[in-house]
Structure 1
Amino acid sequence: MTDHVSSVQQDEQQYDFFLYGTLCVPAVLAKVLGHKCKNITFQDALLPGYTRHKVKNEMYPAVIDKARTDQLLKDNPPNANEVNTRGTYVKGLSYADVHALDMFEGEEYSRLRLPLQTLSQPANIQELPTELVNPTAREGPAFKSSSVEDEPVDAEKKDMVEGWVYVWAGSLERLVPQIWQFEAFIRAKASEWNDLPEEWFISLPPDGELQPPAIEREGLQGEEEEIEDGDQSKLKGRTAEGFEEFGKGMLKHWAFRPGYVNLNHGSYGSPPRHVLNYMRDLSEEIESCPDLFLRRTYLPLLNETRQKVADIIGAEQGEVVLVPNTTHGVFNVLQNIKWDEGDIIVIYSTTYGAVAQMAKHFADVLPISLHIVSLTFPCTHAEILTATEDVLAQYNKVAIPNYTGQSRAEGKDGNHQRVRAVLCDVLASMPGVLYPWEKVVTLCKKYGALSIIDGAHAIGQIPLDVKKADCDFFVSNCHKWLMAHRGAALLYVPTHNQYLMRTSIPTSAGYESSKYPTPGGVRCWDWASQYEWTGTQNWTPLFSVLSAIEFRKSIGGEQRIMDYCQSLATEGGKRLKKKWGPLTSIMDTKPPSLSVAMVNLSLPHIPAPNDAADQVKQLCYFEEGMYEANCFAACYVHGGKWWVRFSAQVWNDLSDFEYVGKVLEKLCLEIKNGKYLEQKSVKPVSDVPKQDK
């Protein structure tokens, strides 16, 4: 949910809700709440300014406001009198009841407080009129259910109240573009409601015997367990014999301004002073005699750097080259592949923005196409793999490896299209979640597709073994989690695939043409040597990888760093979940499989933005507010709601999560109240830098 109950005396406070779906049936509500509803009153009611719609491929409804209704029904927008929703107004719910309702409704809805019009007097569970016991009784002329929805609402009437409403926060593409009037809704649900056992309507078991139903989104983190608080004692690697303690004491190794709380290491990386000093010294060495360095000294350093990163990812030096960043490396791969007509590139809806646009570019200029696998997180690794294999199996035959053990994509009989390559993240950027990338590679082998792995967030955050994974191409940024200076990245191409990579980007002096061989002798073509000199450049960021690896060893090594960052992200997420209440969710599965050193939480209070322009305004307000508070974490919209991604690093501790969480909650409330609209200057959508870090 994007809002939560904020009350110190949670057990004593009572809440009121407008229910417009299955929960209109008091017996169903009782089953969800787990008690007899004896302290709750019910009233026939109307929600003005909102329309009910069927969720596609489901038998439950959603409501949206007039603005979103106009977008959904753009070809036939309703008039003002049609924008009302009939339902039931309930009063007297406890904090635990609210928790149970949020469990039942799931992650697709935001809870908002909205004005309502009551249509009947309140009645308790023992004295309910027939039409409130079973909403199907509200059908027909006697109750004028649809005509009530079609009447304009007078906001000045004394029967106007306020209540919490579960409003659809997901994509409009998931809703049927037609208003689901109350009569049509209850007719659709009549068989389900009429089949309920009679005792559901006339009697209820004693308190304690009713159990809330299981959450339908099985496999995702639920709220049925007590909300854990972040526990400092569970931080792995915080202390280690012979090494400094991780936490705020490590800040002396970084050049952050005083008091800056950086929970966004994942976007651009943050090199320690050790790396900055190394680069400064190296730069002075270069400038002391540029010819000596650029003609003699640089190449041994380049090969040493390649060997060091190759060791970390489980590769050979001859299979690894250095490039400026992951985007550059992925482009190098896509540019070199000889695409054939009918080839398909598969990406995901969470693929990094620049990489996704890059794939679109190739589909624009070549006779190939793009298939985007749509995912909304949290979802399980099994769901990701199923969605991926569905696409592969749709186009490709199961591949038969040749004598080398490699296979080639082949379209199904009668289909000239085939998936030639799948571009998969190790860890997506926004949201910052772990993909089952190694199993995606296995699926690619099964169907003969090339696996191009975007590991921008991988090296330094998780252990890697690219040989074992057997991917076709792998790219990773060294300036993010490995702590090198930006920008520095590696491109891995196994020996058996290097024939596909005819040139570096840009083409270098190391390129050898088969059509126009270099005069004066035969020079053997070699993939890696082409990257030794792609033009004059500043080598210090690439060579800073050496000092970054050296620094990481000096503070305890790769495993200690990974253990601390991952456990801090986990406990920091729990700490904020406890602070923001059970209505805020951690984007993960159960057991956890998506979070590593980045943890994603839905933001409290804030409704979904109305459109792209509104989203830009809200994001700008978040960013300016965090700059003012001397902190940062990455906020983004996913699945129709606002989330925040926290990147945990060795200089952070749990208090950093508390501070940034407090700042964000304040900003969320201000956005909810419309304060972000008062910003003096917000860039138009077209002028916003196209980043998705």
Structure 2
Amino acid sequence: MAEKRRLFGSFHVSNVEDLIGIEESVYSAPKLPKEIPETKVDKSVVREFGKEVKKKYFLLEDDFTFLNHGAFGSVMTPAMNATQAWQLFCERQPVRFIDRQLLSQIADVTRKLAAFINSNPKNVVLVDNVTTAVSSVFSSLELSSEDVVLHTAFIHGGIRSALRRTCCKTGAKSMEIPIHLPVVDEEEIVKTIETSLHETPAKLLIIDHISSVLAFIMPIQKIIDMCRLKGVQILIDGAHGLGSTALDMKALNPDYYTSNCHKWLCGPKGTAFLYVKDEHRQNTHSAVTSYGYGYGFNSEFSWVGTKDYSPFLGLSQTLDFWNIVEPEKIRLYIRDLLRKACNLLIKEWDTDLIAPLNMLAGMALIRLPNELFEGKEMIRYEDAEIIQNCLFNEYEIEVPIKAVNNQLYVRISVHIYNDLHDYEKLATSIMDICKSKTRAL
């Protein structure tokens, strides 16, 4: 380790490692400039959630029924206002902000986020998105032609591309674990992965916490424990995990876990985190190398060159909202509405789910009525696109349609700005399309 000094060419900001490492009992948060708005929550509005919350705390259009939160999330208004305020504050005196204030504010947000996921802040760094986090892990792993990386068949396309590039550079091999669909229960998944780990000596296993494509929760605690016993490192793509589930990093204890803050947490775009276990911190480096290299895990990720860091700082207001309203109250509303929406759609369409309700958090994959594709031998991506575009253009519903196992599914998302009327509209719109003689399928 290089000699400790104040970093990034600044003589006015303490070492990030020191700021992150201060015990909570003696830590003093930096003051917010008066230009940055504090988070205020109208508890009379958030008591019931639904449309009033949508009007007051989100920027979503009234005309559209938005059932695709799982795509890119939707930022809360307090976080957006704070982010923009930080941008303006920076440009009024850029050197003062970057040289004297930025890094202490980033360290403070990191500490707040770490507390939210029950982690030591030394194990957490802020990054732009899950893709950046995964690329950092891949570039830090010392893979060779003798190594095998296992992953499920439905990992995110961006992760798959990063893995393919890594394997091309290192000679490592990637092997896919098929998951039977529809999913019966989590034990079936555990046994499938256990068999693959037994048959294939692997250095790394990559799994989703919640599948972006199939929308169900993976039994990550059981899989983490299994990997630990077999000496296999595990990287969890938790893009949909933060907010929709109660994360406890000290209990989970994975090698690597990353999640977006702009999705279910509703933070600004360009915010995510990477958790790295103690034994890997020293050898895990940012995919972008800058002044912090060689001065510690947190220092290295805190500064990756001149860019707009205001989304990281606006994340503080998002965390304030969740802590004021109470995370479990938010998750309870989402789970309860998801259950009601699934039961409604299954009944109206006489169909089923791709996974049991007890394996769902904020999204679900529900099979569309057979009338939409009867007589077709092969269901293609283009068929799903036709239905999705029809819902968008003719019914003003934003929701993705998936072609899975030669059938069509809709992936619904639920958040605190939704209510059951949104899903009633989807149910009747799909039935209307079924009856239409002009449909293109």
| Class of the TM-score when normalised by the shorter of the 2 chains | 0.7 to 0.9
- Matches of 2:208 and 2:344 in 1, distance apart? 28
Alignment of 1:574 with 2:343, yes or no, is yes
- Matches of 2:152 and 2:66 in 1, distance apart? 29
Quick one: which of 516, 527, 547 aligns to 2:317? 547
2:308 is matched with 538
Gap change, CA 1:500 and 1:669, over 3 Å in 2: farther
1:484 is matched with 267
Shift of 1:617: 5.0
1:369-518 to structure 2, matched below 5 A, reads 369-375=173-179, 376-395=181-200, 418-501=201-284, 503-512=285-294
CA displacement 1:8-27 (0-9 Å, x = unmatched): xxxxxxxxxxxxxxxxxxxx
Shift of 1:327: 1.4
AA paired with 1:675? R
Gap change, CA 1:620 and 1:675, over 3 Å in 2: closer
Q: Contact (CA 8 Å) 2:384, 2:402: kept in 1 or not? A: no
Q: Please state whether the residue corresponding to 1:357 is helix, strand or coil.
A: helix
Q: Contact (CA 8 Å) 1:626, 1:663: kept in 2 or not? A: no
- Matches of 1:552 and 1:667 in 2, distance apart? 39
Shift of 1:624: 4.5
AA paired with 2:286? S
Quick one: which of 126, 147, 155 aligns to 1:351? 155
1:70-89 to structure 2, matched below 5 A, reads none
Shift of 1:300: 1.4
Shift of 1:485: 1.1
CA displacement 1:91-127 (0-9 Å, x = unmatched): xxxxxxxxxxxxxxxxxxxxxxxxxxxxxxxxxxxxx
1:16 is matched with none
- Matches of 1:357 and 1:640 in 2, distance apart? 24
Alignment of 1:279 with 2:83, yes or no, is yes
- Matches of 2:101 and 2:377 in 1, distance apart? 57
- Matches of 2:173 and 2:118 in 1, distance apart? 33
Percent identical? 24
AA paired with 1:295? D
1:613-632 to structure 2, matched below 5 A, reads 614-632=380-398
Shift of 1:493: 0.7
Bigger radius of gyration, 1 or 2? 1
2:358 is matched with 593
User: Which structure 1 residue ranges, 4+ long, deviate > 4 Å from structure 2?
Assistant: 240-243, 608-612
AA paired with 1:287? E
1:399 is matched with none
Shift of 1:674: 6.8
Shift of 1:621: 4.2
Q: Please state whether the residue corresponding to 2:60 is helix, strand or coil.
A: coil
Quick one: which of 411, 416, 429 aligns to 1:663? 429
1:309 is matched with 113
Q: Contact (CA 8 Å) 1:313, 1:464: kept in 2 or not? A: yes
1:634 is matched with 400
Q: Contact (CA 8 Å) 2:204, 2:233: kept in 1 or not? A: yes
Shift of 1:380: 1.7
If each structure's helix is expressed as a fraction of its own residues, which one has the higher value? Answer: 2
Question: Structure 1 stretches of 5 or more lacking a match?
Answer: 1-239, 396-417, 513-524, 678-693
Higher mean C-alpha displacement, 240-249 vs 361-370: 240-249
Matched pairs, number: 396
Shift of 1:367: 2.0
Shift of 1:628: 3.6
- Matches of 1:447 and 1:263 in 2, distance apart? 40
Question: Structure 2 stretches of 5 or more lacking a match?
Answer: 1-42
1:177-256 to structure 2, matched below 5 A, reads 243-252=46-55, 253-256=57-60
2:18 is matched with none
- Matches of 2:254 and 2:386 in 1, distance apart? 39
- Matches of 2:435 and 2:377 in 1, distance apart? 16
Q: Contact (CA 8 Å) 1:505, 1:534: kept in 2 or not? A: no
Q: Contact (CA 8 Å) 1:603, 1:665: kept in 2 or not? A: no
TM-score, normalised by the number of residues in structure 1: 0.55
Shift of 1:456: 0.4
Q: Please state whether the residue corresponding to 2:99 is helix, strand or coil.
A: helix
1:132 is matched with none
AA paired with 1:507? T
- Matches of 1:544 and 1:668 in 2, distance apart? 44
AA paired with 1:435? M
Shift of 1:599: 2.0
Q: CA RMSD in A?
A: 2.1
- Matches of 1:529 and 1:665 in 2, distance apart? 55
The structure showing larger relative contact order (alpha-carbon pairs under 8 Å, at least 6 residues apart) is 2
Gap change, CA 1:366 and 1:639, over 3 Å in 2: same
AA paired with 1:480? K
CA displacement 1:602-622 (0-9 Å, x = unmatched): 01122287668x422541442
